[in-house]
């Protein structure tokens, strides 16, 4: 165990090195670039023994690691924003092939106009692909979860690829103290790679030709869904095991902060959860409000059961989305509502769309938004507007 | 592993598209007396339906279950040992 | 070292009863790949005719290990697969088997990238000169004057010269081949498999359905392409260009068969104008002239 000061991007690179990845391929895009540069440095210095394919596009980056993974290698790639969108077709192909791959996405908004700052639009756009999606709150979690994702994706109960996200600049380029586990610990934690099939010369398997029975094809899609459900348990187990090894537990799919006596709940993902924690403390200290925070760590699979458990007896929930599906609402808001509705839990839920295009949202902003919402729901028993766009700084 | 995965995998099999011999509008007919054992028919047949019998009476056999009747074997044969005739 | 037809392996990698059309040159070409590389090959196949030729899963009419991949990804996937095999210490010859669409058009970036990086892959472009699998639409490989379903009056642009483009990538091995000259193709493929780095082979593959000729003539049309000089067989090892024996006679313009013979065999050229025909003839002369300048 060594304490190092690392940016989020360097935390990712360190995790990839510790995971003993065999093949890396990526195309630069701000703000992911320093992940790839650091990995290139490690490969060329001999610190990391891996093949590096310096591709000409993101579509080719995921294609290259997919090819390597199909051949049995443990692989890694990283991207952001438009790069993620460019490789979108390949995300479907990788998940549908059931080949475990780990990818880091430094979440960045999508143009036009050109904008390098954070929001979660890019990764939320991948939510139907069949990839696991986890959001890191800080650089420590970034490092820890990247390593854990190799174990989770390669578990035979899962066999799906996975994305670990970190917010552009807020995490990727900000230095924080990070506890780096020893190589021997990670070696013991990560078993040799497993996958459902490997391409070898002389072993004629054919992947992906047209199916005779379309229902069989539909069953493949259902199988992915089932694997996502099974992943929930694998995620919890892995979190427990990692916690025993390094002394850091994250709670599995979700973490509930100060929830035990909470009546109103804030829900969010990513770096700004840190700001939400501060807001919760502030609202409790200053106003005596019984506020809790549900940090969603894994958005895919969606923690439906946790939502129902925590919100069953809540007075209200306020969901912060850092992306939106225009005409429908923020994805987290929509999926929280769906989870509650499926269990017959009827509480007022507010969707707050904020922080898009990199607009900064401070703990004060969060506290103000929550204060207004809580006052409203305590007075009216409902939210006048179920979805609102929040610019902060008021 | 309790559940079997449903994977998009396939295995090689003869006749994946059924008995493609039923596609024929014309069939190749082999006259071994004209055959000079050049092997060009075997070489060019797109569907691997011509087999060579090294020591046999008939130097080649045609697999009529799968021969699609394209006529290439007849076209490349230097002695017209293979001719095409309309399928009954 | 010329290969004797008697020595060619009989193991079938194209199995009887697959989904290929009558007289399909891709089926033919795949048989030759099997004869050349056998069980050493792993195929990476982007969208194209061969995707369909495999037939319906869970069956496959082809006996190679095949990774079917999205259209624009083939050479990158192959590069990754090749890299993995090396790192894991496993022997394999990774071959991209792509059509003209997956090579020259939608697949161009992935091709050029892998070539520039000299990734250890063999790329075979099986060129039937149009997007055949989707119903005969024009590609950059469709020749001048040819009918397709998106060029009803005949293509106005010339065929993009892929072999020369790949030559200019300065990769260790570039070659052209034809389904009419299988021994030449097999020899080139075997040679390529002994070289480390990016190898490119462009296989001319006349398609009866798309070019509009009786399926019995696939080999005849391919042969005429070479005999008229419209298709030039050459190879370049380390950039040293040499004209292959079947094409050598046609360096001499007077020995080339008239292009009209080639054109007359194919319905896709039925309405070609005299003007475009003259242009085609000029292109043949130009192509030979360029290549002969490059040849040692």
pLDDT of residue B57: 87
- B11 vs A205: CB contact, 8 Å cut-off? yes
Confidence of residue B2 (pLDDT cuts 50, 70, 90): very low
Q: Which of C55, C73, C93 sits opposite A59 (nearest CB)?
A: C73
Partner residue facing C5 (CB), from B14, B43, B69: B43
Domain range enclosing B78: 30-86
What is the distance in angstroms between the Cα of A261 and the nearest Cα belonging to chain B? 40
Neighbours of chain A (3+ CB pairs under 8 A): B, C
Q: Is the pLDDT of residue A336 over 70?
A: yes
Strands A316-321, A349-354: pairing kind = parallel
* Chain B residue with the nearest C-alpha to that of A211: B8
Return the percentage of chain C with pLDDT > 70, whole number: 99
Q: Tell me if chain C has a CB within 8 Å of the CB of B80.
A: no
Label residue A179 exposed, middle or buried (CB < 10 Å: 0-12, 13-18, 19+): middle
Locus of tokens 């509008």: B25
d(C-alpha C123, C-alpha C103), whole Å: 9
Q: Does C59 touch chain B (CB under 8 A)?
A: yes
B47 with C17: Cβ contact below 8 A: yes
Whole-Å CA distances, C16 to A11, A205, B30, C20: 54, 18, 19, 10
Q: What is the mean pLDDT of residues C73-90?
A: 98
The set of residues, in sequence order, having a beta carbon less than 8 Å from that of A361 and lying 6+ positions away, is A272, A275, A354, A355, A390, A392
Place of tokens 């309405």: C271
Which pLDDT does position C76 carry in this prediction? Answer: 98
Q: Contact A157/B7, CB-based, under 8 Å?
A: no
pLDDT at position A241 over 90: yes
Separation in Å, CA of C261 to nearest CA in chain A: 39
Question: What is the mean predicted confidence (pLDDT) over C164-190?
Answer: 98
Q: Which domains does chain A have, with CATH numbers?
A: 2-246 (3.40.50.970), 254-390 (3.40.50.920)
All residues of chain A having their beta carbon less than 8 Å from the beta carbon of residue C75 are: 60
How far away is chain A from the Cα of B1, in angstroms, using its nearest Cα? 7
- List the CATH number of the domain containing B64: 3.30.70.20
Say yes or no: C193 contacts chain A, CB-CB below 8 A. Answer: no
Chains within contact range of chain C (3+ C-beta pairs < 8 Å):
A, B
Residue A88 pLDDT exceeds 80: yes
Least Cα separation, residue A163 to chain B (angstroms): 22
Contact: A205, B3; criterion CB under 8 Å: no
Q: What is the pLDDT of residues A348-377, one digit of tens each?
A: 999 999 999 999 999 999 999 999 999 999
Q: Percent of chain A scored above 70 by pLDDT?
A: 100
Extended beta strands in C179-226, E state: 198-204
Q: Does C216 touch chain B (CB under 8 A)?
A: yes
Contacts of C91 in chain A (CB under 8 A): 201
Q: Does any domain span residue B2?
A: no
**Structure tokens, C200:** 């490119």
Q: What is the pLDDT of residue A393?
A: 77
- Return the DSSP state at C84: H
CA distance C240 to C233: 14
Position B4 scores a pLDDT of: 86
Q: What is the pLDDT of residues A247-289, one digit of tens each?
A: 999 999 999 999 999 999 999 999 999 999 999 999 999 999 9
pLDDT at C156 over 80: yes
Give yes or no for C23 touching B (CB within 8 A): yes
Find all residues with CB under 8 Å of A165, minimum gap 6, and list them: A104, A105, A106, A107, A120, A123, A133, A134, A135, A136, A270
C110·A63 Cβ contact <8 A: yes
pLDDT for residue B55:
87
Closest CB to A202: pick one of C39, C55, C78. Answer: C39
**Closest B-chain CA to C64:** B12
Nearest CB to C219: which of B9, B16, B76?
B76
C62 has a chain B CB within 8 A of its CB: yes
Q: With 90 as the cut, is the pLDDT of residue C240 above it? A: yes
| Contact with chain C for residue A90, Cβ under 8 A | yes
Residues of chain C with C-beta less than 8 angstroms from the C-beta of B13: 15, 59-61
User: What tens digit of pLDDT does each residue of C181-195 get?
Assistant: 999 999 999 999 999
Among C101, C41, C91, CA closest to C66: C41
Q: Is the pLDDT of residue C242 over 70?
A: yes
Instruction: Measure in Å the smallest separation between the Cα of A148 and chain B Cα atoms.
Output: 21
Where in chain C are the domains? 5-294
Average pLDDT estimate for A128-144 = 98
Q: Has residue A231 got a pLDDT over 50?
A: yes
pLDDT at B1 over 70: no
Instruction: Flag whether residue B16 sits within 8 Å of chain C, measured between CB atoms.
Output: yes
Share of chain C residues as helix, strand and coil, in percent rounded to the nearest 5: 45, 20, 40
pLDDT number for residue A52: 98
Residues of chain C with C-beta less than 8 angstroms from the C-beta of B19? 17
pLDDT tens, residue by residue, A35-85 = 999 999 999 999 999 999 999 999 999 999 999 999 999 999 999 999 999
Residue of C nearest to B19 (CA): C17
C216 with B72: Cβ contact below 8 A: yes
Q: Is the Cβ of B76 closer than 8 Å to some Cβ of chain C?
A: yes
C30 in contact with chain A, both atoms CB, cutoff 8 A: no
* ipTM value: 0.97
Does A128 score more than 90 pLDDT?
A: yes
Residue B56 pLDDT? 82
The answer to whether the CB of A202 falls within 8 A of the CB of A265 is no
pLDDT(C296) > 80:
no
Which one of B39, B63, B70 has the shortest CB-CB distance to C216? B70
Q: How many domains does chain B have?
A: 1
Q: Is B46 in contact with C219 (Cβ distance < 8 A)? A: no
pLDDT, position C2: 82
Averaged pLDDT of chain A:
97
pLDDT of residue A75: 98
Task: Render pLDDT for B55-87 as a digit per residue (tens, 0 to 9).
Answer: 888 999 999 999 999 999 999 999 999 999 999
Closest listed residue to residue A67, CA positions, set A90, A38, A88, A92: A90
Nearest by CB to C220, from B15, B23, B75: name it: B75
What pLDDT was estimated at residue A394? 56
| Distance between CA atoms of residues A106 and A18, nearest Å | 20
- Average pLDDT rounded to a whole number, residues A190-200: 98
Residues of chain C found within 8 Å of residue A53, distances taken between Cβ atoms: 76, 79-80, 83, 117, 119
Q: Check whether A308 has a pLDDT greater than 50.
A: yes
Residues in chain C with CB shorter than 8 Å from the CB of B9 are: 57-58
Contact A209 B11 (CB under 8 A): no
Q: Does domain C5-294 have CATH number 3.40.718.10?
A: no
- What pTM, to 2 d.p., does this model score? 0.97
Which of C15, C80, C119 to probe by mutation at the A interface, max A CB count within 10 Å?
Answer: C80
C positions 55-114 inside 8 Å of A (CB): 55-60, 62-70, 72-73, 75-88, 90-93, 109-110, 112-113
């Amino acid at each position: 165990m060594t304490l190092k000061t690392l940016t989020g991007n360097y935390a990712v690179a360190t995790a990839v090195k510790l995971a003993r990845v065999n093949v890396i391929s990526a195309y630069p895009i701000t703000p992911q670039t320093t992940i790839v540069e650091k990995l290139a440095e490690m490969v060329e210095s001999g610190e990391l023994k891996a093949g590096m394919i310096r591709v000409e596009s993101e579509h080719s980056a995921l294609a290259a690691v997919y090819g390597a993974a199909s051949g049995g290698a443990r692989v890694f790639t990283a991207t952001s924003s438009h790069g993620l969108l460019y490789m979108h077709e390949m995300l479907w192909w990788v998940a549908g092939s059931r080949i475990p791959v780990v990818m880091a996405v430094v979440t960045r908004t999508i143009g036009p106009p050109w904008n390098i700052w954070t929001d979660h639009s890019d990764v939320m756009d991948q939510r139907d692909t069949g990839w696991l999606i986890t959001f890191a709150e800080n650089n420590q979690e970034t490092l820890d979860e990247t390593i854990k994702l190799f174990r989770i994706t390669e578990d035979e109960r899962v066999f799906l690829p996975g994305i670990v996200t970190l917010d552009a600049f807020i995490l990727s380029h900000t230095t924080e103290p990070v506890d780096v586990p020893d190589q021997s610990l990670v070696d013991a934690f990560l078993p040799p790679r497993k996958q459902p099939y490997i391409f070898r010369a002389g072993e004629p398997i054919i992947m992906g030709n047209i199916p005779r029975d379309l229902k069989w094809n539909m069953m493949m899609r259902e199988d992915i869904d089932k694997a996502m459900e099974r992943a929930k348990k694998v995620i919890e187990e892995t979190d427990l095991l990692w916690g025993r090894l390094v002394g850091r537990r994250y709670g599995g799919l979700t973490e509930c902060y100060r929830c035990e006596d909470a009546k109103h709940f804030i829900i969010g993902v990513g770096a700004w959860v840190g700001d939400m924690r501060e807001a919760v403390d502030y609202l409790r200290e200053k106003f005596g409000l019984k506020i809790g925070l549900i940090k969603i760590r894994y958005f895919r699979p969606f923690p439906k059961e946790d939502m129902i458990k925590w919100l069953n007896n809540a007075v209200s929930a306020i969901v912060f989305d850092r992306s939106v599906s225009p005409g429908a609402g923020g994805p987290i808001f929509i999926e929280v509502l769906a989870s509650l509705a499926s269990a017959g839990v009827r509480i007022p839920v507010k969707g707050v769309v904020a922080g898009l295009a990199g607009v900064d949202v401070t703990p004060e902003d969060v506290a103000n938004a929550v204060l207004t919402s809580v006052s409203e729901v305590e007075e009216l028993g409902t939210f006048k507007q179920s979805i609102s766009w929040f610019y902060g700084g008021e | 592993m309790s559940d079997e995965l449903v994977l998009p995998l396939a295995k090689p099999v003869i006749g994946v598209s059924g008995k493609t011999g039923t596609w024929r509008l014309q069939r190749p007919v082999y006259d071994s007396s004209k055959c000079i054992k050049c092997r060009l028919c075997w070489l060019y047949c797109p569907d691997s339906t011509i087999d060579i019998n090294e020591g046999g009476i008939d130097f080649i056999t045609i697999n009529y279950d799968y021969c699609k009747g394209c006529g290439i074997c007849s076209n490349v044969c230097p002695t017209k040992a293979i001719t095409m005739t309309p399928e009954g | 070292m010329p290969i004797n037809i008697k020595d060619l392996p009989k193991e079938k990698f194209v199995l009887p009863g697959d989904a290929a059309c009558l007289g399909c040159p891709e089926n033919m070409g795949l048989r030759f790949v099997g004869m050349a590389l056998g069980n050493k090959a792993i195929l990476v196949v982007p969208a194209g005719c061969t995707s369909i030729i495999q037939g319906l899963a869970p069956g496959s009419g082809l006996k190679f290990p095949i990774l079917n991949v999205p259209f624009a990804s083939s050479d990158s996937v192959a590069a990754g697969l090749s890299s993995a095999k090396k790192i894991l210490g496993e022997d394999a010859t990774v071959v991209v088997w792509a059509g003209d669409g997956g090579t020259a058009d939608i697949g161009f970036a992935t091709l050029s990238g892998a070539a520039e990086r000299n990734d250890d892959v063999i790329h075979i472009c099986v060129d039937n000169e149009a997007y055949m699998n989707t119903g005969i639409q024009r590609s950059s490989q469709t020749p001048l004057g040819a009918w397709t379903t998106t060029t009803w009056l005949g293509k106005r642009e010339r065929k993009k010269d892929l072999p020369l483009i790949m030559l200019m990538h300065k990769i260790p091995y570039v070659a052209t081949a034809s389904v009419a000259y299988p021994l030449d193709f097999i020899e080139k493929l075997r040679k390529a498999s002994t070289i480390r780095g990016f190898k490119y082979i462009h296989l001319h593959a006349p398609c009866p359905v798309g070019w509009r000729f009786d399926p019995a003539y696939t080999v005849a049309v391919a042969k005429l392409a070479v005999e008229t000089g419209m298709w030039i067989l050459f190879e370049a090892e380390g950039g040293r260009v040499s004209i292959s024996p079947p094409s050598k006679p046609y360096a001499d313009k007077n020995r080339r068969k008239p292009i009209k013979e080639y054109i007359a065999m194919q319905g896709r050229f039925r309405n070609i104008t005299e003007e475009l025909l003259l242009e085609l003839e000029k292109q043949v002369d130009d192509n030979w002239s360029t290549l002969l300048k490059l040849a040692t």
